[in-house]
């Protein structure tokens, strides 16, 4: 998927990448160019990726990237077609190179191109409230409603038959058809990613987007962060209740229902037909299978297989939990 929100400053020579990471030049490959940086699954030839955890071993085995920022203990899991770039801190090094390709992805400044919707081409095609602001190159389909004091920033795309509530901000997002985003939501802001270095917090670039598929509903006061390198995705026919937080790179499947005040940490994958009760918390980098039920107030700290019902903290099989807490 093309990213209309962040401009790629590449390509860069391989040795230039090595210099930025304080590594020795490689005379053999000095003329090679690297055109982009992507995650393991989406990277292609002449692109660079990163591999920092055994949890992503399968993706590393099958990556199409020509170069990979990684650590010494992980290089054996890369294909022979992928040249490892060995560093001490994979995530910090990846952050440096991502910022080189996509310098705008570090910041999260407001869009200075926005103007009153009355002054745009949508004046006669969209029903809207007071004080609605629209950025450059925004696309809005037919039969859409936009509430009071809402801001839709540059390059955002909204499909047909959508309803965007009042006091909502949407940026860095692609929204398909028949989507409802209720009042006081923030969609597409920078994710919460930092690395402590020398008594400072290094902010991780976020050059992904938010994709909300057809027939979804996002409840009042909910926040959905854009992806860091992958995209944050809400699958078709999925409903989010009020005050839910979806962190960067989270992927939620189709036909799922998530109750109020749930928090899903970064890079977790939620399957299809999943039900999550109110105030449940899901840790980062987890995989929740299809047809899973998670009871309200549960704390999920490990993967959950398909067709499971869990409860408690740490979340466990609901029958085991009830038996232990008679």
Residues 214, 249, 76, 301, Cα dihedral to 10°: -110
Distance CA(236)–CA(156), nearest Å, equals 19
Does residue 3 lie in a domain region? no
Distance CA(297)–CA(139), nearest Å, equals 39
Is residue 123 over pLDDT 80?
Answer: no
Does residue 1 lie in a domain region? no
Residues in the chain: 326
Does residue 4 lie in a domain region? no
Together in a domain, 55 and 90: yes
Does residue 178 lie in a domain region? yes
The model's confidence at residue 221, banded by pLDDT at 50, 70 and 90, is very high
Together in a domain, 79 and 131: no
Together in a domain, 36 and 168: no
Together in a domain, 51 and 98: yes
Does residue 56 lie in a domain region? yes
Considering only CA atoms, which of 172, 132, 174 is closest in space to residue 154? 172
pTM (two decimals): 0.93
Residue 248 appears among annotated catalytic residues: yes
Together in a domain, 140 and 283: yes
Across 78-92, average pLDDT: 94
Together in a domain, 31 and 155: no
The conformational region for residue 67 under phi > 0 = left, psi -120 to 50 = alpha, else beta, is: beta
Number of domains within the chain: 2
Tokens linked to 153? 């920033």
Together in a domain, 227 and 101: no
Asked whether 171 and 156 are in contact (CB, 8 A), the reply is yes
β-strand pairing of 157-158 with 139-140? parallel
- pLDDT (0 to 100) of residue 42: 92
What is each CA distance from 156 to 77, 150, 240, 241, in whole angstroms?
Answer: 38, 13, 21, 23
- pLDDT (0 to 100) of residue 300: 98
Full domain range(s) for residue 276: 115-324
- Average pLDDT over all residues of the chain: 94
Together in a domain, 31 and 74: yes
The model's confidence at residue 2, banded by pLDDT at 50, 70 and 90, is low
Judged on CB neighbours under 10 Å (0-12, 13-18, 19+), 101 is buried
Active-site hit among 148, 206, 248, 285 = 248
The model's confidence at residue 201, banded by pLDDT at 50, 70 and 90, is confident
Does residue 314 lie in a domain region? yes
Pick the last residue of a domain from 57, 76, 105. 105
What CATH number does the domain containing 188 carry? Answer: 2.160.10.10
Query: What secondary structure does DSSP assign to 213-266, as a single string?
Result: -TT-EE-TT-EEEPPSSS-EEE-TT-EE-SS-EE-TT-EE-SS-EE-TT-EE-T
Is residue 272 over pLDDT 80?
Answer: yes
Asked whether 271 and 291 are in contact (CB, 8 A), the reply is yes
For 34-51, the pLDDT digits (tens) are 999 999 999 999 999 999
């Amino acid at each position: 998927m093309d990213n209309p929100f962040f401009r790629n400053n590449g390509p860069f020579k391989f040795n230039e990448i090595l210099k930025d990471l304080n590594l020795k030049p490689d005379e053999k490959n000095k003329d090679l160019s690297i055109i982009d940086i992507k995650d393991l699954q989406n990277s292609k030839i002449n692109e660079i990726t990163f591999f920092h955890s055994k949890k992503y071993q399968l993706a590393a085995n099958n990556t199409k990237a020509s170069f990979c920022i990684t650590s010494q203990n992980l290089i054996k899991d890369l294909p022979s077609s992928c040249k490892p770039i060995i560093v001490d801190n994979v995530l910090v090094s990846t952050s440096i190179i991502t910022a080189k390709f996509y310098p705008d992805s570090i910041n999260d400044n407001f869009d200075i191109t926005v103007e009153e919707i009355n002054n745009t081409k949508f004046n006669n095609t969209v029903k809207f409230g007071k004080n609605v602001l629209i950025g450059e190159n925004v696309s809005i389909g037919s039969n859409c409603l936009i509430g009071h004091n809402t801001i839709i920033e540059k390059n955002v795309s909204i499909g047909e038959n959508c309803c965007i509530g009042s006091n909502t901000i949407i940026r860095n997002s692609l929204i398909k058809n028949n989507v409802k985003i209720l009042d006081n939501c923030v969609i597409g802001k920078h994710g919460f990613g930092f690395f402590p270095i020398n008594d400072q917090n290094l902010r991780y670039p976020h050059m992904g987007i938010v994709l909300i598929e057809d027939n979804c509903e996002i409840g009042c006061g909910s926040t959905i962060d854009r992806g860091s390198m992958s995209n944050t995705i809400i699958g078709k026919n999925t409903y989010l209740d009020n005050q839910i937080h979806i962190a960067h790179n989270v992927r939620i499947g189709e036909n799922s229902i998530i109750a109020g005040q749930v928090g899903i940490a970064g890079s977790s994958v939620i399957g299809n037909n999943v039900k999550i009760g109110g105030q449940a918390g899901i840790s980062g980098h987890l995989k929740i299978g299809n047809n899973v039920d998670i009871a309200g107030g549960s704390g999920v700290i490990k993967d959950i297989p398909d067709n499971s019902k869990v409860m408690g903290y740490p979340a466990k099989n609901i029958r085991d939990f009830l038996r232990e807490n008679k």
